[in-house]
Structure 1
């Protein structure tokens, strides 16, 4: 059987980038586009704070079109679900049958996605889903594959501002406080991927200034050409 037609939920971070690699490597799905939500007022990826210039450069490097869905701020959950239902209905109308997610082990998030996808007629795929105990090995697998990333934002209750902007590498993992997941799956940090086996060429990104707001440290990552 041929691989199903799919779009990939793309946050700009390492996990979705690795999910793309696994889908292509193992023939799990034919990814036809990246699907990203943008915070309207900031013009950046929500939570990660990724600039559009980086987001679009990532899409070019993996050779896929980028579907940008702009969300208002504030965005109540009812409004978020309405917008997402409208946008995903377009995918179904175009013959897309699956949406791929880079979730790692949070069962409640997986169940939420499964419920929402079922309502709109899409099948969710979780190609790198495992357990909290497997993320250490998954981090090593990502790095060994050639994936490179930087921390874009981190939870101020878990990590200090010096972590924002740092490369997500073996040295950083050694510096993480006890109890912080090496992949940040509990929300301790979010990353921006700069290279992966699927990139035609790596992105050169500089950390920029670090700003603390709303309980998070944000590194204003920028393309070197900007």
Structure 2
């Protein structure tokens, strides 16, 4: 079945994309929501140059959807309808176990007329993180909650060492509550590794972000 992937560039949506492809489904696009005020992707802060690198490395076209906060859901639905024009019958999501998030995704798909797929659903947060690493994905820590994690993790690869630091801080090591975000730069579904340059660390109150481009 042809599908569009709701893609954040992070570990969970990358593993979900991996599983859908492995199951025999064909991706027709990466639907990426872009904050029109910052001109970067929502939540993970990838700029256009980095998003293009993802599209080329995965060999999947981008479906960029600029929006503000108020019309986010409407622009998402428009993106799904654009994907349908490319042949998509289904939309994939990297949600794990938060019911409200899943319900939101299902409502958007219902409005657009697509099926919704959640290949990571109820798989267990720790199990998913371990699977990402064991499958050979390289994910870089992009942002952290300063109240929970040290800035030294920014720019580091998600591996047994970084997970040990996170576990010692008593957080959910999957980061499902926003403790941290990642950018996936290599792995089985990538045709080649993304060449990423590390920039400066930016502080935004309780959060810190490292610029990757």
Tell me whether the two structures share a fold, i.e. TM-score over 0.5: yes
Q: Which residue of 2 aligns with 1:196?
A: 187
Q: Does residue 13 of structure 1 match 2:10?
A: yes
**Alignment CA distance shift 1:138-1:116 (3 Å):** same
Q: Which residue of 2 aligns with 1:167?
A: 157
Aligned positions, number: 212
Q: 4+ runs of 1 displaced by more than 6 Å?
A: none
The structural deviation recorded for 1:89 is 2.5
What secondary structure, in the 3-state scheme, does the structure 1 residue paired with 2:192 have?
coil
**Alignment CA distance shift 1:51-1:94 (3 Å):** closer
- Per-residue CA deviations over 1:27-57 (Å, capped at 9, x if unaligned) read 2x22111110111232211121122222211
Q: Does residue 116 of structure 1 match 2:74?
A: no
The structural deviation recorded for 1:117 is 1.4
- Find the aligned partners of 2:37 and 2:111 in 1 and give their Cα distance: 29
Q: Return the TM-score normalized by structure 1.
A: 0.87
- Find the aligned partners of 1:93 and 1:26 in 2 and give their Cα distance: 23
| Gap regions ≥5 residues in structure 2 | none
- Per-residue CA deviations over 1:62-81 (Å, capped at 9, x if unaligned) read 11111111123xx22xx222
Root-mean-square deviation over aligned CA pairs: 1.7
Q: Does residue 22 of structure 1 match 2:12?
A: no
Query: Aligned ranges for residues 59-138 of structure 1 at < 5 Å?
Result: 59-72=55-68, 75-76=69-70, 79-130=71-122, 134-138=124-128
- Per-residue CA deviations over 1:2-35 (Å, capped at 9, x if unaligned) read xx211001101111111111111122x2211111
Q: Which residue of 2 aligns with 1:154?
A: 144
Contact 2:29/2:83 (<8 A) preserved? no
What secondary structure, in the 3-state scheme, does the structure 1 residue paired with 2:73 have?
helix
Contact 1:48/1:152 (<8 A) preserved? yes
Q: Which residue of 2 aligns with 1:219?
A: 210
**Alignment CA distance shift 1:23-1:214 (3 Å):** same
| Gap regions ≥5 residues in structure 1 | none
